[in-house]
Amino acid sequence: MLTSKRSDRALPTFISLLVIGVLLMTFDVRLQGGGVVGVLRSGTQTIVAPLQRLSSYVVSPVASALDSLSNVASLQEQNATLSAQLAESQAALVAVQDQLAKLQLLEQIYDLETDEDALGRTIANVIGAVDAALIIDKGTRDGVLAGQPVIDTNGYVVGTVKSASIGSATILPIIATREGLTVLVGSQTGTLVSRAFSSELGLEMDLDVFDAREPVLAGDRVLTSAASTDYPAGLPVGEVLADASPESTSLTTTVRPFVDPAALRFVVVLAWPPDPVTAATDDTLPEVTTTTVDGAETSTTATTIQEDG
């Protein structure tokens, strides 16, 4: 029952907690997520992750059903578009398979060694989300470490691992990171910056090319650059939304990332860089494997980590 009695200690307690809160925020900024803050994060994740995983098994179908209901109209339209794209992709696949067969034949003839993809991959379920961050059900036990790049099952860039505990990890998508991402558009290197810290919130990002030599066109693909220290080179990030020409020596345009983090159910964590010594010069494009998800989520939680030979 309600009581009209008020404690005089409420105000001092409130002020004390506010001060503690601001101090914690300052510590977090100063420590940049490391040190005690990192330990606290991984400790909390370790405790809560099993409950989140359990809850995810129950609520995932409910969440998917409710999300689908809200998107019925657009889903029909998307279905038609995807069917057309599938037909085109199947035709392209047949052509690529022909080329692969020829390539293998030539490799056999000339006795060439194939360049095996050395990147380990961990496929993980997205079991939750807090703010823009995603929580996955794989952690340090599965080889997931803070700083590793994350892609979706189509190979598109999602973001990086912000923190990892034994059984779970937090993914920070590129659209919510403060740091710019070094990318490649055509032959030009630019920086992709999130709009999370501007007044225009949305999925789009800003692309700045400071040494622009040629215009970029709408539809141009944006890839990760070899100059990036966070991602392997050549991963698709997004596409340019509007044409832009160099003004003086710089160029600015808008890019829409291929991945909407809110719609993700599975992600792939890359064990990259495979070797810190070679990381700086690594320009390999990881072979992207397509993961088929046929309803049952448990069938896709297998972890595949290949040791770097």
Partner 1 sequence: MRSRTVLVIGVIVLIAVVIQTTLFGRLRIVTPDVVMLVGMLLALTRVRPEAVLAVAFVSGLIMDLLGASLIGTRAVVYTTVAYVAIRTRERAELGRVTIAVWAGLLTLVGITLLIVVGTLFGQARLVGGDAVSVMILVPLANLALAALLAPPFVRLVDRDRTALRYP
Closer Cβ to partner 1, 25 or 218, answer by number: 25
Strand stretches in the chain, DSSP E? 120-130, 133-136, 149-151, 157-164, 169-173, 181-185, 188-194, 205-209, 221-224, 236-240, 251-257, 266-271, 303-304
**DSSP output for 130-177:** ETTEEEES--GGGT--TT-EEE-TTS-EEEEEEEE-SS-EEEEEGGG-
Are 201 and 221 within 8 A, CB to CB? no
Closer Cβ to partner 1, 177 or 188, answer by number: 177
CB of 110 to partner 1, least distance (A): 49
H runs (alpha helix) in 264-309 = 276-279
What is the distance, to the nearest Å, from the Cα of residue 177 to the centroid of all Cα atoms in its chain? 11
Q: Is the dihedral of CA 73, 76, 81, 85 positive or negative?
A: positive
Distance CA 294, CA 173 (A): 25
Q: CA dist 101 to 94, 113, 206, Å?
A: 11, 15, 41
* Type of residue at 259: V
CB of 144 to partner 1, least distance (A): 15
Closer Cβ to partner 1, 62 or 94, answer by number: 62
Closer Cβ to partner 1, 52 or 300, answer by number: 52
CB of 146 to partner 1, least distance (A): 11
CB of 271 to partner 1, least distance (A): 21
Which one-letter DSSP state was computed for residue 267?
E
CB of 197 to partner 1, least distance (A): 5
Closer Cβ to partner 1, 53 or 221, answer by number: 53
Closer Cβ to partner 1, 3 or 290, answer by number: 3
Distance CA 75, CA 64 (A): 13
Closer Cβ to partner 1, 162 or 220, answer by number: 162
| Binding stretches for partner 1 (CB under 8 A) | 1-4, 6-7, 9-10, 13-14, 17-18, 20-25, 27-29, 37, 40-41, 44-45, 48, 51-52, 55-56, 59-60, 62-63, 66-67, 70, 126-133, 135, 162-163, 170, 172, 175-176, 178, 194, 196-198, 201-203, 262
* Type of residue at 183: V
CB of 77 to partner 1, least distance (A): 17
Distance CA 253, CA 196 (A): 16
Closer Cβ to partner 1, 201 or 227, answer by number: 201
Distance CA 110, CA 96 (A): 21
